[in-house]
Chains A and B, each alone.
Chain A
Amino acid sequence: GESVGLHLPTLSVQEGDNSIINCAYSNSASDYFIWYKQESGKGPQFIIDIRSNMDKRQGQRVTVLLNKTVKHLSLQIAATQPGDSAVYFCAENGDILQGGSEKLVFGKGTKLTVNP
């Protein structure tokens, strides 16, 4: 399954399918991006990160793609499993032009539901 548009609040896929979650970020000067997974009632859990000098980075079953031209970030999950059901947030470090802010700026998130 693939999300339609740059931001889709929910995405539903079948177990075993590949999932693609998209994110549009706001600050063209951001140089570090992270994807977090958040299950209900829990804190965000780090999945994968990427720096702006890279276009692609792969982890275990996950791949992050960065398109700086259009300020777009995507998370691909291969062979999606029921345990992948959660809300996924992209985050960027913003305001680095103002002295190097340490804060992460989060998107609104996409809720992924994996159907068995």
Chain B
Amino acid sequence: DTGVSQDPRHKITKRGQNVTFRCDPISEHNRLYWYRQTLGQGPEFLTYFQNEAQLEKSRLLSDRFSAERPKGSFSTLEIQRTEQGDSAMYLCASSLRGQGTEAFFGQGTRLTVV
């Protein structure tokens, strides 16, 4: 296992289309996080899972956003009816234990909505 893997690395979509991103965490990690990062800013928390349970969601996660982790392994983040304001880097991270444990990030998926 070489780390957190995200697919695709880049996605260009037209406004109004739906997009889905995938994250494969480090295999033994039970916690998985999604963050969003816009240019010049730090990552902003979106949601996190412990195993298959989604335990926390940010107010940033509007109704158009949905995340799943059906088997407690990989996760998907779907954005419906994309808007130009959704253009950002979507980062996935995973960690092994709870608070106070380092989270390892993937390379991110760069979304551009045109």
Q: Output the least CB separation between A87 and chain B (Å).
A: 9
Flag if B42 contacts A109 (CB, 8 Å): yes
Q: For A45, list chain B residues within 8 Å (CB).
A: 105
Given A32-B100, A44-B43, A44-B91: A103 and B105 within 8 A (CB)?
Answer: no
CA distance A105 to B45 in the complex (A): 7
Given A43-B106, A102-B31, A103-B58: A93 and B42 within 8 A (CB)?
Answer: no
A34, A43, A104, A106: the one within 8 Å of B108 (CB): A43
In the complex, which residues 67-104 of chain A have their Cβ closer than 8 Å to any Cβ of chain B?
Answer: 89, 91, 93, 96, 100-104
Residue tally, chain B, CB below 8 Å to A: 28
CA distance A89 to B106 in the complex (A): 16
B residues at A contact (CB < 8 Å): 4, 6, 31, 33, 40-45, 48, 50, 55-56, 58, 91, 93, 98-100, 102-108, 110
A residues at B contact (CB < 8 Å): 31-32, 34, 36, 41-46, 49, 51, 89, 91, 93, 96, 100-109
